[in-house]
């Protein structure tokens, strides 16, 4: 008997309405019209095949279509599709729920691969907030995405929200790649373990892949904590930070990656690359790994000579035990 899970997904991209239409071609949504529609959280409407065209473009806040009535006791709900619009800046997102979906990361990846999304998060398959630890608040991509549960994914331009694609290969998670569709799916825990074990496995990945000071994700409404200053080279469009003798935090590195991604200096000063130069040369080695992960150049003054340290740096990924076990089992 195939094991199943309740699959919670939030997806964003260039066109949320296109994402909705793409889901409508998949089971269970293509089998019959929705049972009912909730418009802007208060109006209950008849479920009709053209619900997207009728109500999504003009809704104020959100439209949710249910396949089954969640408000009728004992009635089975196959799933739901929700279009959410944030009223302040028109940020849009699609949330899809499919109950009793095959408990397989590969099945989820196969389903999503043809759809026109860029960022995706997958909520917990365990009881709310991992059962026993109800105080735990996982990180997320924000913009109304689900909090991180068992995984998240990037497609095409969605990867640009990362400090670097290197981040994917060196995190405390399992990475599954779909090269043909340029999809990176990050799995935070083994889907077969209990809630307590799942949380223990997932926490490090949640922190590194969410909006956090040590994370590698740049959200759309990024808030800087560092005053972005450095030496700008107009010839190679590089921003250089000269470090005399002060600690460099991962949050500062994140801010510089965000400055590079968002082009914070404006069109007259495009940032193609960022670099650190450590005047106390040996300090460069202390920060080399974290800078390399973010594709920030690391230079050091060694015996009076400026030397680049990151060019020949080739670290070995540290694979979590649970990922090693899954890989061995599949082999």
- Give the pLDDT confidence of 165-221 residue by residue, as tens digits: 999 999 999 999 999 999 999 999 999 999 989 999 999 999 999 999 999 999 999
In this prediction, residue 253 carries a pLDDT of 98
pLDDT higher than threshold 80 for residue 55: yes
Q: In what helix (H) or strand (E) does residue 8 lie, and over which residues does it extend?
A: strand 4-12
Q: Are strands 79-85 and 4-12 parallel, antiparallel or unpaired?
A: unpaired
- Give the pLDDT confidence of 90-138 residue by residue, as tens digits: 889 999 999 999 999 999 999 999 999 999 999 999 865 544 556 788 9
Going by the DSSP 8-state scheme, the letter that residue 162 receives in this structure is B
pLDDT band at residue 1, thresholds of 50, 70 and 90?
low
CA distance 331 to 326: 9
CA distance 137 to 83: 24
Under a CB-based contact definition with an 8 Å cutoff, are residues 205 and 188 in contact?
yes
Q: In what helix (H) or strand (E) does residue 6 lie, and over which residues does it extend?
A: strand 4-12
Of the candidates 89, 79, 86, 40, the one whose C-alpha atom is nearest the C-alpha of residue 62 is 40
First to last CA, the chain: 22
Q: Are strands 119-122 and 174-178 parallel, antiparallel or unpaired?
A: unpaired
Q: What is the pTM of this model?
A: 0.95
Largest CA distance in the chain: 76
Of the candidates 182, 95, 172, the one whose C-alpha atom is nearest the C-alpha of residue 141 is 95
In this prediction, residue 132 carries a pLDDT of 53
**CB neighbour burial string for 233-247, b if at least 16 within 10 angstroms, e if fewer:** eeeeebbbbebeeee
In this prediction, residue 131 carries a pLDDT of 47
3-state helix, strand, coil in the chain (%, to 5): 25, 25, 50
Across 267-278, average pLDDT: 98
Q: What is the 3-state secondary structure (H, E, C) of 273-299?
A: EEEEEECCCCHHHHHHHHHHHCCCEEE
In this prediction, residue 130 carries a pLDDT of 46
CA distance 80 to 94: 10
CA angle 317/321/322 to nearest 5° reads: 115
Under a CB-based contact definition with an 8 Å cutoff, are residues 67 and 35 in contact?
yes
């Amino acid at each position: 008997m195939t094991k199943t899970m309740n699959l919670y997904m939030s997806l964003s991209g260039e066109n949320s309405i296109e994402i909705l239409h793409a889901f409508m071609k998949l089971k269970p949504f293509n089998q019959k019209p929705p049972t009912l529609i909730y418009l802007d959280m208060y109006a209950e409407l008849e479920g009709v095949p053209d619900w997207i065209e009728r109500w999504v473009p003009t809704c104020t806040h959100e439209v949710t279509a249910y396949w089954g009535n969640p408000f009728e006791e004992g009635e089975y709900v196959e799933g739901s599709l929700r279009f959410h619009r944030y009223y302040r800046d028109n940020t849009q997102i699609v949330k899809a729920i499919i109950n009793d979906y095959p408990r397989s990361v590969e099945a989820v990846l196969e389903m999503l691969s043809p759809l026109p999304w860029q960022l995706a998060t997958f909520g917990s398959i365990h009881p709310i907030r991992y059962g026993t630890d109800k105080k735990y608040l996982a990180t997320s991509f924000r913009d109304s995405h689900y909090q991180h549960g068992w995984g998240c994914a990037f497609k095409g331009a969605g990867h640009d929200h990362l400090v670097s694609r290197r981040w994917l290969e060196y995190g405390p998670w399992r990475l599954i790649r779909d090269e043909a569709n340029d999809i990176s799916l990050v799995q935070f825990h083994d889907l077969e373990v209990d809630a307590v074990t799942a949380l223990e496995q997932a926490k490090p990945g949640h922190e590194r892949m969410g909006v956090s000071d040590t994370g590698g994700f740049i959200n759309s409404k990024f808030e800087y904590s560092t005053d972005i200053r450095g030496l700008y080279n107009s010839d190679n469009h590089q921003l250089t930070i000269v470090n005399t003798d002060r600690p460099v935090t991962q949050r500062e590195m994140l801010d510089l990656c965000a400055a590079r991604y968002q082009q914070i200096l404006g069109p007259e000063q495009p940032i193609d690359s960022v670099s650190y130069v450590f005047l106390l040369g040996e300090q460069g080695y202390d920060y080399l790994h974290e800078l390399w992960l973010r594709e920030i150049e690391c230079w050091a003054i060694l015996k009076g000579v400026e030397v680049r340290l990151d060019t020949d740096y080739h670290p070995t990924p540290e694979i979590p035990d649970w990922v090693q076990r899954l890989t061995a089992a599949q082999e």
